[in-house]
């Protein structure tokens, strides 16, 4: 993940993200929306980062599962 984020409910959070390449690394830049009903236009995101329940803060540089948007459309 490119930057840290907070998510307080004890739920798995599927954060919308855009993939970025920087210095030979791949990062997911999270879209900070207004909740699960706030979907970004599919052309503006690449997929979802699965942030598992049980934490409130997810740190920059941590590794999480990425679900590409195009795989959902198949």
Beta sheet of 13-22, edge-to-edge order? 25-30, 13-22, 47-51, 65-68
Judged on CB neighbours under 10 Å (0-12, 13-18, 19+), 47 is buried
Looking at the predicted structure, is the pLDDT value of residue 73 above 80? Answer: no
Counting the structural domains of the chain, the total is 1
Query: Which DSSP letter does residue 42 get?
Result: G
Question: Torsion angle of alpha carbons 47, 50, 55, 57, nearest 10°?
Answer: -20
- Name the residue range of residue 26's domain: 5-73
- pLDDT (tens digit per residue) in 23-70: 998 999 988 766 656 666 667 889 999 999 998 899 998 999 999 987
Three-state SS at 14: strand
pTM for the whole thing? 0.76
């Amino acid at each position: 993940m490119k930057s840290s984020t907070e998510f307080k409910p004890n739920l798995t959070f599927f954060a919308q993200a855009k993939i970025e390449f920087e210095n030979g690394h791949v990062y997911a830049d999270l879209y900070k929306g207004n909740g699960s009903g706030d979907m970004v236009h599919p052309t503006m995101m690449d997929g979802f980062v699965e942030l598992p329940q049980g934490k409130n803060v997810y740190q920059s540089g941590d590794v999480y599962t990425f679900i590409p948007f195009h795989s959902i459309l198949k």
